[in-house]
Amino acid sequence: MEPDAVLTVSDLHAGYGDLDILHGIDLTVRHGVTTVIGPNGAGKSTLLKAIFGMANTTKGTVYLSGTDLLRLSNRRLLAAGVSFVPQGRCNFPRMSVQENLEMGAFTLPQRQAREAVSSIYDRFELLSAKREQLAGELSGGQQQVLEMAMSLVTSPRLLLIDEPSLGLAPMTLKMVLDEVKSISEQGVTVLMVEQNARQALERSDWGVVLELGRKALEGTGPDLLNDARLADLYLGGAALSETAVGDE
């Protein structure tokens, strides 16, 4: 294991039922923001789900600072410091902001949960003002912030985020990605899947490109942005830093 590695994925094969989507992924996630990009069907979301035990893993290992994550239940994963924000809506729309945050703290003892929710309000003033409002009535960006806040209630070491941009307007996406960056600056390692490659890589320390369930490229965010091979994978041409590849 590399000395600065937070998460080490080795020879990971995973999928759904009998079908493997990932075919031997090796990945080292260091502190900061790591963004996984790739075309549809590359296995980006499956990678996050496999790490969080929501996909069927047939081979390989996933270690978080020496702990084998593949042997843990969701509850134990949260206790080990891993949080997951799934793709699409991932709050309880018929519950209030407060109730959603309490759900985020579900695995914590009651007193600790109260303190954790309170500290979330200190950090996200937007949520504090809307604590009695139904999550389903928040705007798309506010819901995304709520969802990240829910995953931070347990004070994770590693935050897995699956396509935070889904359904968001471009301005809101910028706000959400800035929030992701800010979360990582406060000591949380972020592994994020994102379709908006350019905007995500601009704010990422590291980038990984998946293609057909295999790792095609990896490097620092800025290096990947200027990597002609990445542009080839997407468009067969100009570097991403000059193109709005994947941006909506």
Q: Which residues contact another protein (rule: CB under 8 A)?
A: 52, 54, 73-75, 77-78, 83-86, 89-96, 98-99, 102-104, 106-107, 110, 132-141, 143, 150-151, 154, 167-170, 172, 248
Strand order of the sheet with strand 5-16? Answer: 19-30, 5-16, 56-64, 67-68
* Nearest distance, CB of residue 203 and another protein, angstroms: 20
CB 43 to another protein: min, Å: 18
The strand order across the sheet containing 33-37 reads 82-85, 158-162, 189-193, 33-37, 206-211, 214-220
Output 95 or 217, the one with its CB closest to another protein.
Answer: 95
Complex with another protein: residue 98 or 112, whichever CB lies closer: 98
CB of 110 to another protein, least distance (A): 8
Question: What CA–CA distance (Å, rounded) separates 213 from 55?
Answer: 14
CA geometry: angle 51, 55, 58, nearest 5 deg:
90
Identity of residue 128? S
Pair of tokens at residue 151: 């995953």
- Closest to another protein by CB, 84 vs 206, is 84
Q: Which is nearer to another protein, 99 or 179 (CB)?
A: 99
Residue 24 or 140 with smaller CB distance to another protein: 140
The β-bridge partners of 56 are 15
CB 20 within 8 A of CB 52: no
Q: How far is the CB of 179 from another protein (least distance, A)?
A: 16
- Identify the residue whose tokens are 């069907």: 41
Best CA proximity match to 232, nearest among 217, 221, 247, 248: 217
Q: Whole-number minimum distance, CB 20 to another protein, in Å? A: 20
In angstroms, give the least distance from the CB of 226 to another protein.
Answer: 28
* Nearer of residues 108 and 209 to another protein, judged by Cβ: 108
Note whether 148 and 179 are within 8 A (CB): yes
